[in-house]
C-alpha cells in the first residue's frame, strides 16, 4: 500500500485549525458596547457597574499600561437561535500565542455576580444553555490592560514595569465582542481530532498509529467543510472506535490537578495579583460547576485571603467548591515563598499562618507542601515540612537545571537532620500542562521511578493571567482517561497520588536508590541571592525584629500582665511572608513591586519597633538607670539572651591603632591583630592565641571586585559562569583616615570607581574577634556584579554556610559537574572556612550570596621540606545592576554590614552571626529584667512567644545548631503548670507531656533538631 503519513497529518492539522476550531462559534451577532476608561487604580466592582458609559466601537484602541476599562455589553438572542447554546465571544485584542501575561477581564452580571474571566485562550462567556430566543443580554467587563513585559522580545529593557514610568498609549484593540451559537458537537469533534493528532505523533510506526491515521482520514472524508455543524456527528462516528480502544495495562498514570500558577507579584504589582486570582478562581468555579470530576488546586492562603477581602461574591463560590472537595487548598503556606533565604522562624510562620487560615476558613489542613516554582530548596526543609505536620513535598523547578539532570521524580528527600519527606517532581517538566500528547509522552518516557512507581502528577492549566484550566483541557482529559497508546489521565487530589506513591516506593525506603540528601540546588537563577538588595535587607531586618518583638511582648505579658499584640504580630508577619514570595525576595519583580516592598518593610519595621518599645517600657518601668536589652539568642555585653541588664562599659581593654611607616594601620585588641595597607585592604588578620593569620600569604582581603555581568537570559535572575572571566579590583582609595573612638579602632576609606563611589568604615571593638565593615555605596552601574573577596589561609575541603536551624557544607572544589554548577550559593548570617583548630568566618546583616574557590601552590613541596599553600577564597555578593525587569535595579545608595571573624569554630561562628544583626538596645528605666526563658547545654533559642491559639500558653522553640547531639535544659522563669512538645505549628503531639521541675525541662536533641515546647501558665 502506498502510504503518506504527512499527507494525513497535514490535512488534519489544517482542517482542525482553519475550519473546525473556527466553526465552534458558527453564527454570531455583534453586541452593543459602551465603555468607561479609568486611568488610575482599580475601583470596587459595585462602583464599576455604576459608572456612566459612552458608546464604544469594536476595534477602537483601549487600555494604557496598568489601566482599567469597564465595558458594558448588551444584546438580544436572535429568535432563530431558539434551542441553541449561546455564548458571548470576547476578544479584547489578545495575542493567543501567549496564554497569559496580557490583558484580562472579569465578567459580571448587572447584579454584581461574576460569570468567569476571559483570557487569551479562554474567550467565551456562557450566556444561555438552551435559548428560547429574544433573551436580553447584559454583561459588564472589568478589563485590565496590563502590559506584556516578557513577550516576544524577551528580557528587553522596559519602562512599562511601573505605573510611574509606563507609557499612556493604548496597548490593545478589541477584535470581537459578539453573541454566538456554541456548536457543542463541533467542539467535541475538535477535541477528538486534536487528541488523536497529538497521540499519533508520539506513537511508533505500527498498527495503532496506522489505525488512528486512517480514522482521521475517514472522519475528514465525511466532514463537509461548508457544513461543519451538520456533519460533525458523522465525522465523530468515524473516530469513535480508535477513541474507544483502551490503554495498555501498564500505561503511565497521570494524576491531573487543575492549576494556575499565579505569582503573588512579578511582572505586575500585588494589587493586580488580587484581581488575577479573582478572575482565575471565578473561571475555575464555573468549570467545576460544568464538569463532574475536574478538581482545581490552589496554594497560598494569602491568595484566598485576597479573594475573601476584595471579591466576597467570588469567595462564596470558592468556599462552596472547597466544601464539595473540588477546589483544593494546597501547600499550607501563606505564599509560595522562596525557601533558600527566609529564616527558620519565617518558614515556620509560612506554614503556621497558611494552615491556620485553611483551618479557620475551610476546616481543613493541607497534607503537603506545594512549591512548583521556587528557586531551589533548603536542606532544612524536610525536617520543617515533617514537623509542621505535612506528609509530602512537590516541586518541578529542578528540571530547569542548566547542567545536571536530576536523577529522581518520586523520591525521599533527606534534610540536614536526617528527616525524610516523600517528594515528587512531575516528569513532564511543566506546571502549566495542557495535556498535550507530547507532554504525556514525555512524562511516560522520562519518569525515573518507573521500575517501582506507576504514575506522576500533571498540574494542568495556564497560570499568571491565563485563567487556569480550560474546557478544552477537561475535554482532553476525558478522552485520555483510558486511551490506547497514551498515558492514562484522571483528575485527583495530589494527596491520593502521594498515598499511592508512598506504598509503591516503600520497599525502597531504606534500601536502594530513591533518596536525595541535602539541598535541592537550582542550577539557574543564582543571582536571585543578590538582586534588589533593599528588599533582602528589609527581610533580614524584619525577621529579626519580629522574633524580638514576640519575645519582649511575651516577657511583658508574663511579668506585667501586658496584653500580647496577637493581631499586630499576625499582620506584620503576614507582610513579611508576602514579601518572601518567590519573585519578591529573590528580586525578580518589576520596579513597582520592589518600590512597594521597600515601603512595606519600612512599615513592618516601624510596627515591630513599636511593639518592642512598648514591651520594654512595661518591663523596665519608670526610672533613669542606664540599661541594655539583649535581643539575641546569645549573651552580649554582659547581658543574658533576651534579658535586660545594666549598661556597663567595655570589660576588655580599648583597641589600639598604630599608623605604619609608609602607610597602613595596625588595629589590635586582646584577641586579634589586623593590618591594613595604605589603601585600606586587610593584609593580615592574626589570631593572637594561635598566631595564625587568616589572610593568605602575599594576598589581601576585603578587596572589592567588580565584574561585567550580562547573562544570556533572565537578567535579574541569572549570573552566568563566564562573569568570572573579567574582573576589576577596586584598589584605589581617594581618602583613608583612622582614629580610636570610644575604645574602638576605626579606619575610614573612600573609593571612587566607574560611575560609583563608596565609603567603608572598618572597626575593631575591644574584646571582639570581628573586623566589622560598614559600607555605603552610591551605586550607578549597569550590568555589573560587586563582590568583596577574602583569600583565606585555610585548607578547607568544605565551607559551612548557615541555613535555617543549622548549616550545610559545600565543597570548595569542582570535582563533579554538580559541584561545578554551584558557582554561586546561599548563606544566611555566616559562612565559615576552617581547619581543625582554626577557622575564619564571615558574618553579615543582609547578604545571601557567596562563592568560594580554592588555589593551590605546591612550589615549596618536594624535594624541599615545605607544605603546599592552599588558599580558600570566600567572596560575599554585594550588589548587581541588571536591567530587566526593573531597569533601575539597585541604583542609588545601598548599605551593607559584614565582618571578618578571626579564629572561630562552628559554635563561635553561629554566635557571631546571630549577634551581628541583633545588637543590644540602650534604654533607661527602673530595673533590669531577668530573661523569661533561659537555655543551657547546647540548646539554641529560636522563638519565645505566646501560643497562636491565644490561650496565653508560652511557646518556646529551640534547636541544635552545630550538627551534634545535645542534652540541655529550657527554663521558664515564671510559674508554669506543665509542658508539652508540640509541632512547629503548635499542634499537640502524641505522648507529648514533658516533665517540668522548677520551671525547667530537659531536652535531648539530635543533630540540627528543632523542638517546640508549649508551657501552660500556672
Nine cell digits for residue 461: 492549566
Query: Which CB sits closer to Zn ion, 263 or 709?
Result: 263
C-alpha dist (Å) from residue 855 to 361, 699, 817, 822, 832:
57, 12, 19, 17, 17
Query: Which CB sits closer to Zn ion, 882 or 899?
Result: 882
All residues at 6 or more sequence positions from 1 whose CB lies less than 8 Å from its CB, including other chains: none
Query: Which CB sits closer to Zn ion, 263 or 718?
Result: 263
Q: Which stretch binds Zn ion (CB under 5 A): 320-328, 365-373, 652-660, 803-811?
A: 365-373
Nine cell digits for residue 309: 477581602
Query: Which CB sits closer to Zn ion, 102 or 486?
Result: 102
Please tell me whether residue 150 binds Zn ion under the rule CB under 5 A: no
Q: 378-437: which residues touch Zn ion (CB under 5 A)? A: none
Minimum CB separation of residue 969 from Zn ion in Å reads 44
**Contact criterion met (CB below 8 Å) for 138 and 72:** yes
Across-strand partners of 925? Answer: 625
How crowded is residue 650: how many other Cβ atoms within 10 Å of its Cβ?
17
All residues at 6 or more sequence positions from 952 whose CB lies less than 8 Å from its CB, including other chains: 557, 564, 946, 1017
Q: Which stretch binds Zn ion (CB under 5 A): 72-80, 255-263, 778-786, 865-873?
A: 255-263
How crowded is residue 923: how many other Cβ atoms within 10 Å of its Cβ?
17
Q: 298-317: which residues touch Zn ion (CB under 5 A)? A: none
Minimum CB separation of residue 974 from Zn ion in Å reads 44
CA distance 955 to 979: 10
CA distance 677 to 700: 9
Minimum CB separation of residue 819 from Zn ion in Å reads 27
| Three-class SS state of 411 | strand
CA distance 201 to 903: 64
Q: Rounded to the nearest 10 degrees, how much is the dihedral formed by the CA atoms of 334, 337, 342, 348?
A: 30
Helix (H) or strand (E) holding 933: strand 933-936
Minimum CB separation of residue 330 from Zn ion in Å reads 14
Query: Which CB sits closer to Zn ion, 267 or 944?
Result: 267
CA distance 15 to 336: 42
Q: 940-999: which residues touch Zn ion (CB under 5 A)? A: none
Query: Which CB sits closer to Zn ion, 572 or 579?
Result: 579
Q: Which stretch binds Zn ion (CB under 5 A): 261-269, 656-664, 773-781, 1010-1018?
A: 261-269
Minimum CB separation of residue 713 from Zn ion in Å reads 16
Q: Rounded to the nearest 10 degrees, how much is the dihedral formed by the CA atoms of 422, 427, 433, 437?
A: -140
All residues at 6 or more sequence positions from 652 whose CB lies less than 8 Å from its CB, including other chains: 669, 670, 766, 767
Nine cell digits for residue 194: 486534536
Minimum CB separation of residue 691 from Zn ion in Å reads 52
Site string for Zn ion, 846-865 (x = CB under 5 A): --------------------
Minimum CB separation of residue 494 from Zn ion in Å reads 18
Terminal CA-CA length for the chain: 91
Query: Which CB sits closer to Zn ion, 263 or 286?
Result: 263
Minimum CB separation of residue 351 from Zn ion in Å reads 19
Query: Which CB sits closer to Zn ion, 179 or 590?
Result: 590
Minimum CB separation of residue 588 from Zn ion in Å reads 9
| Three-class SS state of 864 | coil
User: Residue of minimal CB distance from Zn ion?
Assistant: 373
Minimum CB separation of residue 575 from Zn ion in Å reads 20
Minimum CB separation of residue 720 from Zn ion in Å reads 21
For 935, phi then psi, to 5°, come to: -125, 155
Q: Which stretch binds Zn ion (CB under 5 A): 41-49, 167-175, 371-379, 508-516?
A: 371-379
Nine cell digits for residue 196: 488523536
Minimum CB separation of residue 476 from Zn ion in Å reads 24
Please tell me whether residue 373 binds Zn ion under the rule CB under 5 A: yes
Query: Which CB sits closer to Zn ion, 289 or 373?
Result: 373
Residue linked to cell 469513535: 240
Q: Which stretch binds Zn ion (CB under 5 A): 258-266, 384-392, 474-482, 690-698?
A: 258-266
Query: Which CB sits closer to Zn ion, 263 or 693?
Result: 263
How crowded is residue 651: how many other Cβ atoms within 10 Å of its Cβ?
9
Query: Which CB sits closer to Zn ion, 263 or 911?
Result: 263
Nine cell digits for residue 592: 513597582
Minimum CB separation of residue 262 from Zn ion in Å reads 8
Minimum CB separation of residue 453 from Zn ion in Å reads 27
Q: Which stretch binds Zn ion (CB under 5 A): 223-231, 262-270, 854-862, 946-954?
A: 262-270
For 1002, phi then psi, to 5°, come to: -95, 135
Q: Which stretch binds Zn ion (CB under 5 A): 256-264, 446-454, 620-628, 938-946?
A: 256-264
Query: Which CB sits closer to Zn ion, 583 or 953?
Result: 583
Minimum CB separation of residue 582 from Zn ion in Å reads 6
Q: Which stretch binds Zn ion (CB under 5 A): 244-252, 257-265, 504-512, 703-711?
A: 257-265
How crowded is residue 655: how many other Cβ atoms within 10 Å of its Cβ?
26
Please tell me whether residue 185 binds Zn ion under the rule CB under 5 A: no
Minimum CB separation of residue 350 from Zn ion in Å reads 15
Query: Which CB sits closer to Zn ion, 212 or 428?
Result: 428
Across-strand partners of 924? Answer: 626
Total residues at interface with Zn ion (CB under 5 A): 2
Query: Which CB sits closer to Zn ion, 336 or 550?
Result: 336
Q: Which stretch binds Zn ion (CB under 5 A): 373-381, 529-537, 597-605, 707-715?
A: 373-381
Query: Which CB sits closer to Zn ion, 236 or 397?
Result: 397
CA distance 156 to 760: 35
Please tell me whether residue 263 binds Zn ion under the rule CB under 5 A: yes
CA distance 670 to 689: 9
β-strand 124-128 against 85-91: which pairing, if any?
A: antiparallel
CA distance 954 to 443: 49
Q: Which stretch binds Zn ion (CB under 5 A): 372-380, 543-551, 683-691, 758-766?
A: 372-380
Burial class from Cβ neighbours inside 10 Å (0-12, 13-18, 19+) for residue 890 reads buried
Minimum CB separation of residue 965 from Zn ion in Å reads 39
Site string for Zn ion, 324-363 (x = CB under 5 A): ----------------------------------------
Site string for Zn ion, 4-43 (x = CB under 5 A): ----------------------------------------
Minimum CB separation of residue 496 from Zn ion in Å reads 25
CA distance 943 to 932: 12
Query: Which CB sits closer to Zn ion, 198 or 263?
Result: 263
Q: 870-909: which residues touch Zn ion (CB under 5 A)? A: none
Nine cell digits for residue 70: 469597564
Per-residue DSSP letters for 563-595?
PP-HHHHHHHHHHHHHHTBTTTTTT-S-HHHHH
**Could you tell me where the DSSP H helices lie in 749-898?**
817-821
β-strand 727-729 against 104-108: which pairing, if any?
A: unpaired
| Three-class SS state of 686 | strand
Q: Which stretch binds Zn ion (CB under 5 A): 114-122, 369-377, 688-696, 999-1007?
A: 369-377
Count, residues in the chain: 1018
Site string for Zn ion, 440-479 (x = CB under 5 A): ----------------------------------------
For 13, phi then psi, to 5°, come to: -65, -45
The residue ranges that bind Zn ion (CB under 5 A) are 263, 373
Amino acid at each position: 500500500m502506498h502510504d503518506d503519513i504527512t499527507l494525513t497529518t497535514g490535512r488534519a492539522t489544517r482542517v482542525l485549525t482553519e475550519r473546525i476550531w473556527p466553526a465552534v462559534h458558527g453564527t454570531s451577532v455583534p453586541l452593543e458596547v459602551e465603555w468607561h476608561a479609568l486611568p488610575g487604580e482599580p475601583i470596587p466592582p459595585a462602583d464599576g457597574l455604576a459608572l456612566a458609559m459612552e458608546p464604544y466601537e469594536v476595534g477602537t484602541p483601549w487600555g494604557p499600561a496598568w489601566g482599567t476599562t469597564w465595558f458594558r455589553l448588551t444584546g438580544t438572542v436572535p429568535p432563530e437561535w431558539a434551542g441553541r447554546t449561546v455564548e458571548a465571544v470576547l476578544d479584547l485584542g489578545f495575542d493567543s500565542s501567549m496564554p497569559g501575561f496580557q490583558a484580562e477581564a472579569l465578567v459580571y452580571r448587572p447584579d454584581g455576580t461574576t460569570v468567569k474571566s476571559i483570557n487569551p485562550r479562554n474567550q467565551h462567556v456562557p450566556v444561555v444553555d438552551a435559548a428560547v430566543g429574544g433573551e436580553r443580554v447584559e454583561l459588564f467587563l472589568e478589563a485590565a490592560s496590563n502590559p506584556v513585559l516578557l513577550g516576544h522580545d524577551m528580557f528587553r529593557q522596559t519602562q512599562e514595569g511601573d505605573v510611574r514610568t509606563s507609557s499612556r498609549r493604548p496597548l490593545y484593540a478589541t477584535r470581537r465582542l459578539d453573541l454566538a451559537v456554541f456548536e457543542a458537537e463541533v467542539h467535541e469533534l475538535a477535541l477528538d481530532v486534536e487528541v488523536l493528532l497529538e497521540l499519533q505523533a508520539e506513537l511508533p510506526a505500527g498498527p495503532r498509529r496506522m489505525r488512528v491515521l486512517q480514522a482521521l482520514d475517514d472522519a475528514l472524508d465525511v466532514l463537509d467543510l461548508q457544513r461543519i455543524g451538520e456533519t460533525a456527528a458523522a465525522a465523530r462516528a468515524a473516530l469513535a472506535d480508535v477513541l474507544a480502544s483502551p490503554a495498555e495495562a501498564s500505561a503511565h498514570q497521570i494524576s491531573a490537578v487543575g492549576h494556575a500558577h499565579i505569582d503573588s507579584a512579578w511582572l505586575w504589582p500585588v494589587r493586580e495579583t488580587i484581581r488575577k486570582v479573582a478572575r482565575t478562581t471565578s473561571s475555575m468555579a464555573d468549570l467545576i460547576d460544568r464538569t463532574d470530576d475536574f478538581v482545581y488546586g490552589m496554594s497560598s492562603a494569602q491568595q484566598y485571603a485576597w479573594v475573601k477581602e476584595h471579591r466576597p461574591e467570588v469567595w462564596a463560590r470558592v468556599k462552596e467548591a472547597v466544601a464539595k472537595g473540588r477546589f483544593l487548598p494546597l501547600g499550607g503556606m501563606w505564599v509560595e515563598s522562596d525557601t533558600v533565604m527566609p529564616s527558620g522562624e519565617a518558614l515556620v510562620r509560612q506554614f503556621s499562618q497558611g494552615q491556620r487560615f485553611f483551618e479557620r476558613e475551610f476546616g481543613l489542613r493541607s497534607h503537603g507542601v506545594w512549591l512548583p516554582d521556587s528557586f531551589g530548596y533548603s536542606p532544612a526543609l524536610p525536617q520543617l515540612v515533617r514537623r509542621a505536620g505535612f506528609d509530602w513535598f512537590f516541586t518541578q523547578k529542578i528540571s530547569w537545571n542548566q547542567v545536571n539532570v536530576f536523577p529522581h521524580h518520586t523520591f525521599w528527600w533527606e534534610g540536614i537532620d536526617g528527616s525524610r519527606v516523600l517528594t515528587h517532581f512531575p516528569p513532564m517538566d511543566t506546571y502549566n500542562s495542557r495535556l498535550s500528547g507530547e507532554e504525556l509522552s514525555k512524562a511516560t518516557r522520562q519518569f525515573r521511578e518507573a521500575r517501582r512507581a506507576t504514575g506522576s502528577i500533571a498540574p494542568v492549566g495556564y497560570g499568571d493571567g491565563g485563567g487556569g484550566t480550560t474546557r478544552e483541557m477537561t475535554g482532553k482529559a476525558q478522552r485520555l482517561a483510558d486511551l490506547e497508546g497514551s498515558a492514562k489521565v484522571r483528575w485527583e487530589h495530589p494527596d491520593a497520588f502521594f498515598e499511592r506513591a508512598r506504598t509503591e516506593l516503600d520497599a525502597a525506603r531504606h534500601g536502594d536508590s530513591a533518596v536525595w540528601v541535602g539541598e535541592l540546588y537550582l542550577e539557574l537563577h543564582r543571582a536571585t541571592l543578590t538582586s534588589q538588595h533593599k528588599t533582602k535587607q528589609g527581610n533580614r531586618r524584619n525577621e529579626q525584629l519580629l522574633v524580638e518583638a514576640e519575645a519582649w511582648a511575651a516577657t511583658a505579658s508574663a511579668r506585667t500582665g501586658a496584653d500580647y499584640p496577637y493581631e499586630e504580630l499576625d499582620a506584620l508577619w503576614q507582610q513579611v511572608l508576602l514579601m518572601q514570595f518567590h519573585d519578591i525576595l529573590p528580586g525578580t519583580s518589576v520596579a513597582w513591586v520592589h518600590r512597594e516592598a521597600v515601603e512595606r518593610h519600612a512599615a513592618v519595621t516601624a510596627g515591630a519597633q513599636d511593639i518592642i518599645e512598648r514591651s520594654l517600657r512595661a518591663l523596665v518601668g519608670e526610672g533613669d538607670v542606664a540599661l541594655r536589652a539583649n535581643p539575641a539568642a546569645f549573651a552580649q555585653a554582659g547581658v543574658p539572651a533576651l534579658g535586660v541588664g545594666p549598661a556597663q562599659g567595655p570589660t576588655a581593654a580599648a583597641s589600639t591603632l598604630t599608623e605604619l611607616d609608609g602607610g597602613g594601620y595596625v588595629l589590635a585588641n586582646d584577641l586579634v591583630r589586623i593590618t591594613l595597607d595604605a589603601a585600606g585592604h586587610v593584609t593580615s588578620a592574626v589570631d593572637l592565641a594561635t598566631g595564625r593569620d587568616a589572610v593568605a600569604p602575599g594576598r589581601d582581603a576585603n578587596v572589592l571586585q567588580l565584574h561585567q555581568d550580562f547573562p544570556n537570559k533572565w537578567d535579574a535572575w541569572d549570573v552566568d559562569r563566564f562573569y568570572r572571566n573579567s574582573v576589576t579590583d577596586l584598589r584605589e582609595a581617594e581618602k583613608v583616615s583612622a582614629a580610636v573612638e570610644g575604645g574602638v579602632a576605626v579606619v575610614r576609606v573612600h573609593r571612587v570607581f566607574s560611575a560609583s563611589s563608596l565609603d567603608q568604615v572598618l572597626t575593631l571593638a575591644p574584646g571582639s574577634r570581628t573586623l566589622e565593615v560598614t559600607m555605603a555605596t552610591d551605586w550607578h552601574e549597569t550590568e555589573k556584579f560587586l563582590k568583596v573577596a577574602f583569600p583565606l589561609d585555610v585548607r578547607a575541603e568544605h565551607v559551612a554556610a548557615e541555613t535555617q536551624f543549622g548549616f550545610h557544607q559545600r565543597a570548595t572544589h569542582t570535582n563533579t559537574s554538580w559541584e561545578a554548577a554551584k558557582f554561586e550559593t546561599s548563606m544566611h548570617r555566616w559562612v565559615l572556612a576552617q581547619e581543625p583548630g582554626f577557622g575564619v568566618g564571615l558574618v553579615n546583616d543582609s547578604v545571601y550570596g557567596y562563592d568560594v574557590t580554592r588555589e593551590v601552590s605546591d612550589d615549596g613541596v618536594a624535594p624541599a621540606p615545605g607544605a603546599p599553600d592552599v588558599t580558600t577564597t570566600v567572596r560575599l555578593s554585594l550588589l548587581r545592576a541588571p536591567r530587566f525587569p526593573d531597569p533601575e535595579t539597585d541604583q542609588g545608595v545601598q548599605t551593607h554590614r559584614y565582618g571578618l571573624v578571626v579564629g572561630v569554630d562552628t559554635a563561635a561562628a553561629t554566635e557571631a552571626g546571630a549577634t551581628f544583626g541583633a545588637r543590644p538596645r540602650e534604654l533607661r528605666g527602673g530595673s533590669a529584667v531577668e530573661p523569661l526563658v533561659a537555655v543551657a547545654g547546647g540548646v539554641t533559642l529560636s522563638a519565645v512567644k505566646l501560643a497562636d491559639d491565644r490561650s496565653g500558653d508560652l511557646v518556646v522553640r529551640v534547636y541544635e545548631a552545630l550538627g551534634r547531639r545535645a542534652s540541655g535544659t529550657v527554663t521558664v522563669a515564671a510559674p508554669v503548670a506543665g509542658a508539652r512538645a508540640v509541632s512547629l505549628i503548635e499542634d499537640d503531639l502524641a505522648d507529648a507531656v514533658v516533665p517540668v521541675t522548677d520551671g525547667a525541662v530537659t531536652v535531648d536533641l539530635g543533630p540540627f533538631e528543632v523542638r517546640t515546647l508549649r508551657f501552660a501558665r500556672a
